[in-house]
């Protein structure tokens, strides 16, 4: 994709004004220290990590809320032991952190630990409405999935779209991070042609050394070719060099001007640390 040499500052700020962040339970306490760089009310996505307990997840959401942000805990369907376990966790999240939005993923437990084999199973259960969850986010995979093929992914997305629309639950899509904008924008264009018009939060890798980025790319099944890394001015042998998403974010700024792709926002994965990502955002905006 050709990059424009002149970027309208207003458009740049529009793209970055509504950014969202993923912050692990271990790092949520840093939010109070970094609050000057994160606008109040920003959605903070808290992943469902297998080594954490439900108590840890609830405590993290509570910390996010107290820091002035909107917690969006992840729920991994296949890791839930029972409907009662899900209901108890949702009850605690709502009462202790006023959670009203979730990001629901299938998770990687095989076989499932309980009755929920995928995201759609939770969406159909009615448990979310019982706990007054008003917004559900689901995962998007612009560059595919290491296990599921494109037709399966597309069918699952359309199924979840239909369930959420029929239940009259607000929804959005959060994507895995990608090193290149072209496949992501092509994927978004395909969704819009399928009449999927919900907000899409595009995953952006925060500044980190190349070794760290490659590790997460491998875990997530993200394309990490030498050609893509060269876009960052790096080679695959420069493992200790730091790559920032400047070029990638500018591509999105150019592409998203004029609203051609609908409601698209940036979602940052701070693999190199929350402080580095917030500093990068602050410097880029200025």
Question: For the whole model, what pTM was predicted?
Answer: 0.87
Which range has the worst mean pLDDT, 105-109, 115-119, 215-219, 221-225? 221-225
Going from N- to C-terminal start, the domains of the chain cover 10-285
Give me the mean pLDDT over the 219-242 stretch. Answer: 55
pLDDT band at residue 159 under the 50/70/90 scheme? very high
Give me the mean pLDDT over the 197-214 stretch. Answer: 86
Q: What is the largest CA-CA distance in the chain?
A: 55
pLDDT at residue 73 greater than cutoff 80: yes
pLDDT band at residue 234 under the 50/70/90 scheme? low
Q: What's the confidence (pLDDT) of residue 2?
A: 30
Which range has the worst mean pLDDT, 6-10, 22-26, 70-74, 253-257? 6-10
Q: What's the confidence (pLDDT) of residue 218?
A: 66
Which range has the worst mean pLDDT, 5-19, 49-63, 150-164? 5-19
Q: What's the confidence (pLDDT) of residue 273?
A: 87
pLDDT band at residue 177 under the 50/70/90 scheme? confident
Give me the mean pLDDT over the 39-66 stretch. Answer: 94
pLDDT at residue 58 greater than cutoff 80: yes
Q: What's the confidence (pLDDT) of residue 221?
A: 59
pLDDT at residue 20 greater than cutoff 90: yes
pLDDT band at residue 102 under the 50/70/90 scheme? very high
pLDDT band at residue 178 under the 50/70/90 scheme? confident
Give me the mean pLDDT over the 1-9 stretch. Answer: 34
Q: Give the rounded percent of residues in the chain with a pLDDT score beyond 70.
A: 84
Does residue 219 or residue 190 have the better pLDDT? 190
Give me the mean pLDDT over the 73-94 stretch. Answer: 96
Output the CATH code of domain 10-285. 3.20.20.220
């Amino acid at each position: 994709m050709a990059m424009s040499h002149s970027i309208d500052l207003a458009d740049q700020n529009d793209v970055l004004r509504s950014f969202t962040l993923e912050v692990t339970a271990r790092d949520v306490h840093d939010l109070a220290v970094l609050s000057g760089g994160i606008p109040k009310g920003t959605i903070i996505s808290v992943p469902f990590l297998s080594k954490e307990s439900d108590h840890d997840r609830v405590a993290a959401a509570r910390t996010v809320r107290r820091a002035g942000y909107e917690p969006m805990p992840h729920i991994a369907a296949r890791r839930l032991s029972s409907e009662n376990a899900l209901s108890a966790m949702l009850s605690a999240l709502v009462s202790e952190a006023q959670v009203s939005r979730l990001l629901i993923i299938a998770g990687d437990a095989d076989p499932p630990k309980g009755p929920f084999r995928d995201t759609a199973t939770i969406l159909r259960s009615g448990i979310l409405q019982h706990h007054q969850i008003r917004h559900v986010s689901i995962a998007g995979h612009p560059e595919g999935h290491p296990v599921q093929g494109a037709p399966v992914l597309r069918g699952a997305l359309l199924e979840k779209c239909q369930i959420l629309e029929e239940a009259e639950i607000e929804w959005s899509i959060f994507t895995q991070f990608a090193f290149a904008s072209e496949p992501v924008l092509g994927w978004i264009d395909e969704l819009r042609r399928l009449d999927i018009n919900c907000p899409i939060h595009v995953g952006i890798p925060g500044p980190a050394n190349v070794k760290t980025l490659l590790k997460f790319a491998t875990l997530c099944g993200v394309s990490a070719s030498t050609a893509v890394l060269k876009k960052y001015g790096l080679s695959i042998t420069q493992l200790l060099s730091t790559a920032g998403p400047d070029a990638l974010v500018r591509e999105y700024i150019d592409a998203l001007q004029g609203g051609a792709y609908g409601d698209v926002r940036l979602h940052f994965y701070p693999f190199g640390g929350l402080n580095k990502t917030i500093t990068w955002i602050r410097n880029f905006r200025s």
